[in-house]
Amino acid sequence: MTQTPSATERIEIERACERIVYAYSRALDLGDMSAAADFFAENGSFARPMAPDKVIQGREAIRAALLTRPKTLLTKHLATNVIIDVVSRDEARGLSYLTMISTTLPGDAAPPYVSAGPVYFGEIKDRFVREGGEWKILERRGSVQMKFSGAAAP
Amino acid sequence: MTQTPSATERIEIERACERIVYAYSRALDLGDMSAAADFFAENGSFARPMAPDKVIQGREAIRAALLTRPKTLLTKHLATNVIIDVVSRDEARGLSYLTMISTTLPGDAAPPYVSAGPVYFGEIKDRFVREGGEWKILERRGSVQMKFSGAAAP
Amino acid sequence: MTQTPSATERIEIERACERIVYAYSRALDLGDMSAAADFFAENGSFARPMAPDKVIQGREAIRAALLTRPKTLLTKHLATNVIIDVVSRDEARGLSYLTMISTTLPGDAAPPYVSAGPVYFGEIKDRFVREGGEWKILERRGSVQMKFSGAAAP
């Protein structure tokens, strides 16, 4: 079995990995942290954008970490500028921009909920692996470079 | 005629539907509301992100609703995190994030025009259908979850 | 040699041009201005989003212009809503949205760095050309339509 994907296979791999980037963001924003954890390989590792030096090892440890998120937190994770590099039929790398904003759900209001910011601007480096026919995140490293709260903020 | 698309057809469908998401946003931002309406199927339906419970039925009703937009409104509709699910050769579903900001065009200034916000963070659920060889929006449901005006805003 | 690309070739061209849009943004945000210039064709031309009427002609002139950027500037260029139109096997056009924010790196702080904004909302029109097997930017025209500094800004 060759490791060199055809043009069509290459595009399919790129699309599958892009989709993970978007679907993972969506799981976080739905507050479905266990579904987010399921995007990782069993031996996957993760450093959150806000804690880039703290690597969490293994899907179940990632799940436990994600599940500590307060249930009243509402987030929006915008993933843009997604570039996927296909390494082989079963390996790929990803680079994407993450723009994140959150707020705490009030008990009594209706959407759209007001966020006081900040808007965070960061990036995500991924390694993807195909396991049993399914693409998973083997390694995810986040970082945040900038934040914006509005001109009047300190 | 089989309903199962090949790998290449599947990618072509995904690309065609993504493109509608972007081109529709662009039509709105150019203020070309009639062109925006033309992305809908004749029997398409639409609930605007800011009025998610009010479903507008039929392309011509959608056109009439879109045309009520003030001509002095300038918008930017950023579409990100686009996921397309191919159902068959002639049906697909879409999920995307919408980040929207607008301002009223002043009579006397030049671009870039200042917007006081807010920035709205929402999402769009689409159903697409292929009619006479062309992909159209059969159903579009928008919603807005969050807004941001800056830290100093109330 | 025919100029009509196959379905797979068409998708490959779209992907290659999209990738340039993202990778160019990334080079700017890494402060690697020479790498950014290398995305242009030798006879490429460029009008920056903030100076849409000033066309810079030729890759080396573009490089010189980009290299004037202050080394203490940190930027984030979010590219979204990317639409690529394949013209032939060796020509394509692109339209994308650019959302840009920047800040000046302080001497003493650690990321995330605070930006006071504004966030700029603009668009990019590209012409791409394949030269010696590689896609390059033949023509890039930027413009900015809106800016947002927060509700409290003047």
As for how many domains chain C has, the answer is 1
- Alpha helices by DSSP H, listed for C1-154, are 7-30, 33-37, 59-66
Q: SS3 for B105?
A: coil
CATH number for the domain including C47? 3.10.450.50
In a domain, C154, yes or no: no
Nearest to C146 among B8, B79, B112 (CB): B112
Output the pTM of the full model: 0.96
Query: Which residues in chain C have Cβ-Cβ distances shorter than 8 Å to B9?
Result: 7
The arithmetic mean of pLDDT across residues A10-14, rounded, is 97
Closest to A112 (Cβ–Cβ): which among B82, B95, B120? B120
Give how far B29 is from chain C: nearest CA, Å: 10
Q: Which residue of C has its CA nearest to A145?
A: C112
ipTM passes above 0.90: yes
Does residue C92 sit within a domain? yes
**Is residue B140 in some structural domain?**
yes
Please tell me the distance from the alpha carbon of residue A94 to that of residue A139, in angstroms, as a whole number. Answer: 10
- pLDDT above 70 covers a percentage of chain A that reads 96
Residue B86 maps to a domain: yes
Range of the domain at C98: 7-148
Could you tell me if residue C1 is inside a domain?
A: no
Domain for residue B2, yes or no? no
Region B42-68 average pLDDT: 97
A150 touches chain C (CB under 8 A): yes
C2, part of any domain: no
Contact status of C78 with chain A (Cβ, < 8 Å): yes
Long-range contacts of B77-80 (CB under 8 A, 24+ apart): B77/B25, B77/B26, B77/B28, B77/B29, B77/C81, B78/A78, B78/B25, B78/C78, B78/C80, B78/C81, B78/C97, B78/C99, B79/B21, B79/B22, B79/B25, B79/B124, B79/C80, B79/C81, B80/A78, B80/A79, B80/A80, B80/C80
Residue-wise burial string across B26-41, b where 16 or more C-beta atoms lie within 10 A, e elsewhere: bbbbebebebbbebbb
DSSP 8-class letter at A39:
T
Report, in angstroms and rounded to the nearest whole number, the Rg of chain C calculated over CA atoms: 17
Nearest residue of A to residue C113, measured between CA atoms: A146
Looking at the partner chain, which of A81, A144, A149 has a beta carbon nearest the beta carbon of C79? A81
Residue B73: closest CA among chain C residues belongs to which residue?
Answer: C146
Residue C74 lies in a domain: yes
Instruction: Name the residue facing A74 among B83, B97, B145 (closest C-beta).
Output: B145
The predicted-structure confidence for A40-77, as pLDDT tens digits, reads as follows: 999 999 999 999 999 999 999 999 999 999 999 999 99
**Stronger pLDDT, C122 or C108, i.e. the higher one:** C122
- Distance from the Cα of A110 to chain C's closest Cα (Å) equals 21
Cβ of C81 within 8 Å of Cβ of B119? The answer is no
Read off the tokens for C65.
Answer: 């212009």
∠ CA(C27), CA(C5), CA(C138), 5° rounding?
Answer: 35
* pLDDT surpasses 50 at A103: yes
Residue B54's identity, in one-letter code, is K
